[in-house]
Amino acid sequence: MTRSLAYALVALLLPTHLVAGAWPREQGEAFLSLKVGSSDGAETSYAIYSEYGATPRLTLGLSADRYALRTGAVELFSRFALRPESATQISTEFNVGYEFDTRPVTWPVMGDRLSFGAAVMVGRGFSTPVGAAWADLRVGRRTTLDQLRTETEAKLTTGVSPTERVKLFVDIEHDIVDRIEAEPESFTTVAPTVAVELAKGTHATVGYTVDPGGDLPSRIDVGVWLAF
């Protein structure tokens, strides 16, 4: 697995709109997402994601992903809502992450694994004949501490709730990875997902991620959301 492919797989595991979009988490509310995925290459991935509403505008969060046998990533972030009372939500995010790789052949270079970044998110809800719907756009950029790699991402999420217990949505994401002394690489993924409420504050999710260009393996994910 190349490093650029590994970075793209990390992006694939980032949480979906209903978990981390432009809307802030309510103050005092916590959220936990657990997800297990299986790819075409028979590799199993695991993802843990959590949020906490620190104030009416500030949401704090942590994500931890394992996307191969001995590789993965951890990220801390803070998201600030600029217009929490507006119909059109606008938020900014700042994050710091660390990629880990425990394979024996890999020499641990901190500067190549520690990264920091920022993003802007814009979201809006609207009604349709099918049910309440929403759209969320995220544009972000992150770079490694040694500035040898920069990743630019753009993700559009749109979905609808045809019933009170069911949510259908799709993520369309495009990532561009720039590395010193290497040609830029880009990846595009499409990930439809269905979330079904099992009980108050508990949802089960099933999703499928595919790369139309064929650079990344397809993956099926199952998971659970807990809000408390």
Q: Rounded mean pLDDT of 22-34?
A: 93
- Assign residue 28 a region: left if phi > 0, alpha if psi is -120 to 50, beta otherwise? left
68: confidence class by pLDDT, cuts 50, 70, 90: low
Q: Which residues of 84-114 are buried (b: 16+ CB within 10 A; e: fewer)?
A: eeeeebbbebebebebebeeeeeeeeeebbe
31: confidence class by pLDDT, cuts 50, 70, 90: very high
Please state the domain extents for the chain: 3-227
Residue pair 13/47 in contact (Cβ under 8 Å)? The answer is: yes
Q: CA–CA separation, 129 vs 169, rounded Å?
A: 16
Q: Which residues pair with 123 in a beta bridge?
A: 89, 136
Question: How long a stretch of residues is the chain?
Answer: 228
Among 187, 188, 183, 157, smallest CA distance to 170 is for 157
- Assign residue 22 a region: left if phi > 0, alpha if psi is -120 to 50, beta otherwise? alpha
Segment 179-209, tens digit of pLDDT:
887 788 899 999 999 999 999 999 999 999 9
Segment 79-122, tens digit of pLDDT:
999 988 888 999 999 999 998 776 655 444 444 578 999 999 99
Residue pair 61/76 in contact (Cβ under 8 Å)? The answer is: yes
Task: State yes or no: pLDDT of 56 exceeds 60.
Answer: yes
Residue pair 143/149 in contact (Cβ under 8 Å)? The answer is: yes
The confidence score (pLDDT) of residue 100 equals: 77
- Please identify, in words, the CATH class of the domain defined by 3-227: mainly beta
What SS3 state is found at 55?
Answer: coil
Strand 132-144 relative to strand 88-101, pairing: unpaired
72: confidence class by pLDDT, cuts 50, 70, 90: confident
214: confidence class by pLDDT, cuts 50, 70, 90: confident
The confidence score (pLDDT) of residue 42 equals: 63
Average pLDDT of the chain? Answer: 85
Percent of the chain predicted with pLDDT > 90: 63
Q: CA–CA separation, 121 vs 81, rounded Å?
A: 9
Q: CA–CA separation, 191 vs 219, rounded Å?
A: 9
Handedness of CA 118, 172, 189, 163 (dihedral sign): positive
Q: Rounded mean pLDDT of 61-89?
A: 88
Task: State yes or no: pLDDT of 3 exceeds 80.
Answer: no
Q: Rounded mean pLDDT of 47-56?
A: 94
Segment 118-154, tens digit of pLDDT:
999 999 999 999 999 999 999 999 998 877 889 999 9
Q: Which residues pair with 137 in a beta bridge?
A: 122, 156
Task: State yes or no: pLDDT of 8 exceeds 70.
Answer: no
